[in-house]
Amino acid sequence: MMPGNSPEQESTKKRHTNSLVLSWFLLAAGCTTTDSFVFRTNEKPMGAPCRVVVAWAPEVRFAPDPAHGGVPSPGIAGRIFLFGEEITSPFLAEGAVVIDVYDDTPGKGNAALPLEEWRIDKDTLKRLERRDAVGWGYTIFLPWATYKPEIKQVQMRLRFEPANGPAPLYADVVPITFKNNAVSMSIQSSEHVIKSSAQNETQAKRN
């Protein structure tokens, strides 16, 4: 909770944020790429964020992996939005993002360690800037080297680390249940590929 905000104010802000994220899901429904509904403009609003909100696509997606000759690789797609103290329109800011994925499949118990971790530095994050009907944000696709078909539900834990501090911002942690089988999608270029810790370890062993 932000200092000075009452529980009622925080609840109203969260409802507003959830409605914005829901709009993103409604737009994405039926699309095989998050780029199909993106609008581009040179006007990019910048600000000092107080909260980070992320909307994950509820399915595993397969995209060509430029690092392996275009072989389709599983991954998780989503949109990251940054907001100020008031939940109005999202904006952009310099910083990095760290994401951990945990197996949350019912019946397996709570996972103590993440399956993978992705670190997106500020330069890579800047290249992921996109605008959609919700506003400016970041469109990400996370190649998932440790994916297994028996994983039916995960937790995605994301934090945004502002370039100028003062402290990381954490997105709400909610379970993501994969609603259907993996689907294909396309990505525009290799500059948008984000390597995870597991992929870096695999590459190091090959070298």
pLDDT in tens, 67-110: 788 889 999 999 999 999 888 899 999 999 999 999 999 988 87
Q: What is the pLDDT of residue 88?
A: 85
Provide the residue ranges of all domains of the chain, joining segments of one domain with +: 7-206
Task: Say what the pLDDT of residue 181 is.
Answer: 59
CATH assignment, 7-206? 2.60.40.10
Which of 171 and 181 is assigned the larger pLDDT? 171
- The amino acid at residue 199 is Q
Which pLDDT band holds residue 36 (cuts at 50, 70, 90)?
A: very low
Strand partners, 102: 155
pLDDT confidence of residue 183: 55
Q: For 99-125, write each residue's pLDDT tens digit.
A: 999 999 998 887 889 999 999 999 999
Alpha carbon of 43 to those of 92, 104, 119, 128: distances in Å? 11, 39, 27, 15
Which residue do the tokens 């992921």 mark? 128
User: With 50 as the cut, is the pLDDT of residue 190 above it?
Assistant: no
**pLDDT 10s digits, 126-172:** 999 999 999 999 999 999 999 999 999 999 999 999 998 789 999 99
